[in-house]
Amino acid sequence: MNEDKLHELEKLFQKDRYVALSGIKIEEVGDDYATVGAAVRPDEHMNGVGTVQGGMLYTAADFAFAVLTNMLHPTTVTQTATVTYIRAAKTDRISATARELACSGHNCVVEVTVRDGEGVTVMTGLFNGFISAKK
């Protein structure tokens, strides 16, 4: 990935305070994927039964979607998302990787996989995005 493009994405998402406060960062971007990740903070990201809160997993997935789609298209926002929580995340790290499956007109469909620190899939999601304008 072009370093200038990566810095452009990082600058765009500096304004996303919720993601920043959650500790989620862009880890890697390629021509057709984006990966974000975060260290799990026990005092902030755990639910009542001692596993990573589902909202943290979803936020990582949604951010991976945002990074990928805003790299590939003009401003893109989530329209709908369907997620499946597969197993509890109990590690000290999570990551989410997004890959676009289809794009037509002002719509795109992206698959996101969230993994724990051991690389085990803990959540999957299918995100539909609205592209504000075509390139």
- The CATH number of the domain holding residue 72 is 3.10.129.10
User: Average pLDDT by consecutive 10-residue portion of the chain (135 residues)?
Assistant: 76 89 94 96 93 97 97 94 97 97 96 97 98 77
Domain extent, residue 68, equals: 3-131
Q: CA 118, 124, 128, 133: dihedral to nearest 10 degrees?
A: 10
Number of domains within the chain:
1
Q: What residues does 130 pair with on adjacent strands?
A: 77, 107
Q: What is the Cα–Cα distance from 111 to 124, expressed in whole angstroms?
A: 7
At residue 108, what is the residue type? C
pLDDT score recorded for residue 135 = 58
- Quote the pLDDT of residue 1: 58
pLDDT at 4: 75
